Structure 1
Amino acid sequence: MQRILLILVTVLLTVTAKAQKMTAPAGAFCDPETGLCTPAPVAETANPINFSDDQEIIYVGDPMCSWCWGISPELNRLERAAAANGISYRIVLGGLRPDDSEEWNEQFRGFLKHHWEEVTKRSGQPFGYDLFEREHFQYNTEPSCRAVVAARKMKPEAESRFFELTQHHFYVQNQDPAETSFYEPICKELGLDFKRFSELFASDAIKAETLADFQTNRQWGVTGYPTVIYRNGDKLYAIARGYADFDRMWGAVNELAVQE
């Protein structure tokens, strides 16, 4: 399998093996020091990788990854800075927990609640906690990722905002992203035809494109979310693995652009 590994810019990233890791029941973990969530495995395949000689910033994240919600304001600034400097910005969906096998028990709810509190403490991002009053919930991140891919297909320029609104409706309003109706107010706000969105959201084609995003980021060597990549030609540099602020990420882009 062709595999392009990220070039880790160690002078710009701080990832410590000694950080205390919160272990989720399914074996995935989120690290409160680095702000990085490790994904569950997916079936691998060799997706074609064809990069031109341009540069771009690639955000690899998952709408139901809480550190991805934590970093959201910083990414908004990064996307605006990229656009102002003629650098493309795109999203690759991560696939943090793309199944519904996790049992919604007291252990898992406790893990999530404490983890959300850690994200708020570091990032200031708000969370609602009504979710933990639900008797049943499936923490499957595939539907929310698939919804973003459907929005990308309909209106690419709205993808980032759709991603962020999906996060807000889940983390703050505690609605269920597995329900098609969850996305109706988001589509309305962004001028997307909800009927067409619903058709795409349920389609095999969008499910396949979503899985391709999951496979692609793993093929690149991404091991957790959020990961932010600066690409110059066929070289991929991880400018953030886990939570990072705008100044740190943009500084890394500028330093790497000069080196190239």
Structure 2
Amino acid sequence: MLFFQRYRFGRFGLRWNLRATPALREIDLDLDGTAVAVTVRRHARARRTTLRIPSMGAPVVTAPVGMSDAALERFVRGHADWLADKLSRQTPARPFEDGAFVPVRGVEHRIDHHPGRRGTMWLDEDDGQPLLCVAGEEQYVARRVTDGLKRMARADLEASVVRHAAAVNRTVTSLKVKETRSQWGSCTNKGALSFSWRLIMAPPFVLDYVAAHEVAHLVEHNHSDRFWRLTEKLAPQTPEACRWLKQQGPHLFTIGTGG
């Protein structure tokens, strides 16, 4: 985004400086000795300035288009203590590596690397301990775990979506499983659904709720009372699932990172 600055009145009226000034894109802070970069986003529909920290992401400040860089910097620096406190509470990253624990359908599994085995990833058990077994070289462990969990997420989500779509007599045109940071699922007006693959780490009733939530949008393209009644009819544990996602959901974004 570029801004053009008015600079003087001339013989023929108001003139404009056509040399574009790059908009402020980042604000650098020093929080108790830690360098933190706050991403700047200006939005045409923003009516106020907001500061947030996406799950395991960099802080983002969203402001109206007309807000000056100086005012934006003052706003962010005025919330430096709040940022420092929130960032200090973030859960440490848990990379996918041999011996690490990963929740699968809400149950903690230990990653068990088998360099001499063929295949990719499979579930097993050792003396009552659920295992997430991975074959191949060590350098590919993280990728194979991620790919394996994505396949499982897609299978579970497809099963839930098919069931819920049949219940409301609606057609799903496509289903995607991908990495998302701002939402667990989405639904387009054309019936295309997208979900976070990290839902496979949550208990099954949570994944099923998110599937029901997006399918309900095929009927009600809003969050009205009718929408929530339909969602809860499809997924009776909707209230519990919402609480779980609010309390535990952010931690899922710390798993499989930092390696």
TM-score, normalised relative to structure 2: 0.27
Larger RCO, structures 1/2 (Cα 8 Å, 6+ apart): 1
Please state which structure has a larger fraction of its residues in strand: 2
TM-score, normalised relative to structure 1: 0.27
